[in-house]
Amino acid sequence: MKKRMSFEEIDEFAKKMADYATENTVIALIGDLGTGKTTFSKTFAKAFGIKENLKSPTFNYVLEYTDGRLPLYHFDVYRMGSAEEIYEIGYEDYINNDGVALIEWANIIETELPKKYIRIEFSYIYCDECENIREIELEYIGDTKKEEEMLEYVGFSN
């Protein structure tokens, strides 16, 4: 489902997603440069109970945080040359480790994502006074039942 949201609404959405996420949840964050993937991750992490500020994992691809409700693995695979490269950093261990994975630029490793994952796509909207608004698409890939439950949980309706 797609929804237009202000930055404030996106922050609230990130907090609700942090409450919703459970063991082995994989969240794919997709969208052009500057659409809000990192900001979403930071708000999510704070609501998830992580005390320190998220740092950019751009050069090491993944950073791990263990002081939240569950372990959090924050990936940014923007600089990855190929999807297969993800295995060189222990990807399978991270996503099967009873934690939550947030993956910025997940489209780059789309072929290696699990059968079921939450997909959030951020898009710019082009109009006057739209710079603080994004279109957000929220889906649960591979699980329509969970998708319904999730949309309800986060109050995602038009």
**Contact residues for Mg ion (CB under 5 A)?**
37-38
Instruction: Report what 119 binds from Mg ion, ligand ATP, none; CB cut-off 5-8 Å by kind.
Output: none
Nearer of residues 32 and 152 to ligand ATP, judged by Cβ? 32
Q: Which residue has the tokens 């222990």?
A: 90
Smallest separation (angstroms) from Mg ion to the CB of 155: 25
The DSSP output letter for 90 is T
Binding-site member from 2, 22, 23, 34 for ligand ATP (CB under 6 A): 34
Helix 144-153 and helix 7-20, axial crossing angle in degrees, nearest 10 = 120
Nearer of residues 10 and 150 to ligand ATP, judged by Cβ? 10
Q: Does 57 bind ligand ATP (CB under 6 A)?
A: no
Q: What are phi and psi of 19, to 5 degrees?
A: -75, -35
Q: How many CB atoms lie within 10 A of CB 117?
A: 21
| CA nearest neighbour of 154 among 9, 2, 20 | 20
Q: Does 38 bind ligand ATP (CB under 6 A)?
A: yes
Binding-site member from 17, 26, 30, 31 for ligand ATP (CB under 6 A): 31
Nearer of residues 39 and 97 to ligand ATP, judged by Cβ? 39
CA atoms within 13 A on the CB side of 140: 17
Q: Does 11 bind ligand ATP (CB under 6 A)?
A: yes
Binding-site member from 7, 60, 82, 144 for ligand ATP (CB under 6 A): 7
* Dihedral angle computed from the Cα positions of residues 36, 5, 135 and 79, in that order, rounded to the nearest 10 degrees: 10
Residues that bind ligand ATP (CB under 6 A): 7, 10-11, 31, 33-39
